[in-house]
Structure 1
Amino acid sequence: MQLTVDQAAAFAALPLRSLRHEYPNHIMHVLNGPQDVLSPRAMHPVFYGCYDWHSAVHGYWLLARCARLYPSLPQQDAITALFDEHFTVENMQQECAYFQTPGRTSFERPYGFAWIVALAQELDVWQHPKAKTWLAAMEPLTVEIRSRIFSYFTKLSYPIRVGTHYNSAFSLKLILDFARHRRDVELEDLVVSASRRYYLNDTDYPAHYEPGGDEFLSAALTEALLMSDVLGPDAFPGWFAEYLPAPGDIRCLMTPADVSDHSDPKIAHLNGLNLSRAWCMKRVARRLPKEAPASAVLEAAAQRHIEAGLPNVVSGEYAGEHWLATFAMLALEPVH
């Protein structure tokens, strides 16, 4: 199942609507005093829509990605107008200042951190005449987040393995992509060192405990995807053989999650799990030898997960529509 321009247009329609949709809004906000009682847009003039801050960030990432990959996308002008409206120097300075206010050290850490640098990377490769202007406007925020990534991962003694926003491996994967794109050797070394410290000695991962009831990431598969990038084609297959010796025997990992209520903001996370699993499975499979039994098992499971997750991206339920298209994009993109 491959991504088409029609699918990309359907995906793009969701953040185009949601990024200006201020309410309902789930805010994570430290109040230092009555002056901090503000509306979402007053606090975040760029990332106020899509129900929460991090979903707004990767909503912009999705729009940039769709517009870059599909020049014939019918929403090109609308996407340009949205970026022009929000990605100004003044707006981004306010977003940056929010992080620098006392008491907000852990705000959006690490998931939002990872999506900020992923967005910066996407703007950098997008051959849009204004993309470099938008990228320059957000550069102070990108620099602030880069500094916070160093502070966090140098003091995080143990990885966080949950299947939600605090998962360490998912964020490290996106940050590593950004570091290698920018040829930021210092940042790449940080990620590689942290990843090896956290995960190199993992064996017989207890993936049979997945999924948790509100997870949108597979801790097992996200870690495997990260380590495929960290270790490279020579060392990764050997590591994976010890990490998940027989993925085909882990039925719950290879079977799409059942979603009982697509309108529930937490239970609907499982739609994202199906899509993010497919993203990981496709890429891990391609980084194993073709003759490895696990490769075919993962490819087949990825297809089942896409078939389960894709129909729920455009569903009429805001609990999913404000964010799921990002993970559908990852699941459907071809693997190079």
Structure 2
Amino acid sequence: MHLTLDQVSAFVRLPLRSLRHEYPNHIMHVLNDAQDAQTPRALHPVFYGCYDWHSAVHGYWLLARCARLYPALPQQDEIAQMFDDHFTAANMQQELAYFQTPGRVSFERPYGWAWIMALAQELETWQHPKAKAWLAMMEPLVAEIRSRVFGYFAKLGYAIRVGTHYNSAFALKLILDFARHRNDAELDSAIVTASCRYFMGDSNYSAHYEPGGDEFLSAALTEALLMADVLEADVFVDWFAQYLPKLADIDRLMNPAEVSDHSDPKIAHLNGLNLSRAWCMKRIARRLPENDPAAATLTAAARRHIEAGLPHVVSGEYAGEHWLATFAMLAMETVN
């Protein structure tokens, strides 16, 4: 299953609209005094759209990634203009200042942190003539978040295994990708150490209870995806066999979630779950030997999940359209 240029163009239209769409807006905001009662755009001059801060961050990620992978995309100029309009030194300084204000140590931790690093990685990879300048504007924010990662995972005694924004494995995976892209050995080591501390001893994982009613990540599969990158290939194969030993029998994990209301902002998370599961399944399957039955099981399940989730990305429902295209892109990607 491959994306057509028309599908990618439809995906891109969503953040091109939503990133300038300030309302409705769900803010996670600590007010220290009356002066902090401001509009989303006043608080976040870059990441004010797409309903919430983290969705705005990965909305920009989607634009950069699609522009990089699909040079014939008709919205190339619109994408560049979006970055030009928002990725300025003054705007990024205000985003950084928000993080450095007292009382906001946990703001967007760890999901938004991870997507900031993924966005930086994407801008560094994109060969657009202005991409390096846009990246330079956000480097102080990247450095701030990088510094926070060390302290957070050092003191987080137990992994957070929910299928929502607080999931530890998802953030660790994106941050590890960033660390390895930059050859950041210190960050790489910290992420590998934390991942092994949390997950190396897991076996017979109880995935039969997935999904929760508002989850967009699979705790089981996101952890396995992370460990596929953390462990050497042969070690991962053994670990995975112990972790999910009867994979094909876990019906609620191998079959798509049913979504009762695509307009409900929480229940619609399950559309994202179907897409993020497919992303995990495809990548985990690539890490297993071709003759491993689990590889075929995951590949077939990924197709079912894509077929269930993809039709709801462009739906007219803002509850999904402000974020789902990011996970559709992950699910459909062919790059390693």
Structure 1 residue 335: Cα displacement: 4.7
* CA shift digits 1:252-305 (9 cap, x unpaired): 000100000000000000000000000000010111111111110000000000
Give the equivalent residue in structure 1 for 2:298.
298
The residue correspondences of 1:182-201 to structure 2 (distance < 5 A) are 182-201=182-201
* CA shift digits 1:288-327 (9 cap, x unpaired): 1111111100000000000000000000000000000000
**Aligned partner of residue 201 in structure 1, secondary structure:** coil
Structure 1 residue 232: Cα displacement: 2.6
The residue correspondences of 1:1-336 to structure 2 (distance < 5 A) are 1-336=1-336
* CA shift digits 1:84-120 (9 cap, x unpaired): 0000011000000000000000000000000000000
Query: Are the equivalent residues in 2 in contact too, given 1:282–1:335 (CA < 8 A)?
Result: no
**Aligned partner of residue 122 in structure 1, secondary structure:** helix
C-alpha distance in structure 2 between counterparts of 1:90 and 1:122, whole Å: 22
Query: Are the equivalent residues in 2 in contact too, given 1:11–1:325 (CA < 8 A)?
Result: yes
* CA shift digits 1:216-267 (9 cap, x unpaired): 0000000000000000312100000000001100000001000000000000
Structure 1: which amino acid aligns with 2:258?
D
Number of aligned pairs?
Answer: 336
Query: Are the equivalent residues in 2 in contact too, given 1:216–1:269 (CA < 8 A)?
Result: yes
* CA shift digits 1:45-73 (9 cap, x unpaired): 00000000000000000000000001110
Kindly report structure 1 stretches of 4+ aligned residues shifted beyond 2 Å. Answer: none
Structure 1 residue 331: Cα displacement: 0.2
C-alpha distance in structure 2 between counterparts of 1:19 and 1:149, whole Å: 26
TM-score (norm 1): 0.99
**Aligned partner of residue 259 in structure 1, secondary structure:** coil
Q: Which runs of 5+ in 1 are unaligned?
A: none
Q: Which runs of 5+ in 2 are unaligned?
A: none
C-alpha distance in structure 1 between counterparts of 2:145 and 2:220, whole Å: 26
C-alpha distance in structure 1 between counterparts of 2:333 and 2:74, whole Å: 19
**Aligned partner of residue 300 in structure 1, secondary structure:** helix
TM-score (norm 2): 0.99
**Aligned partner of residue 260 in structure 1, secondary structure:** coil
> Considering only aligned residues, what root-mean-square deviation do their CA atoms show, in Å?
0.5
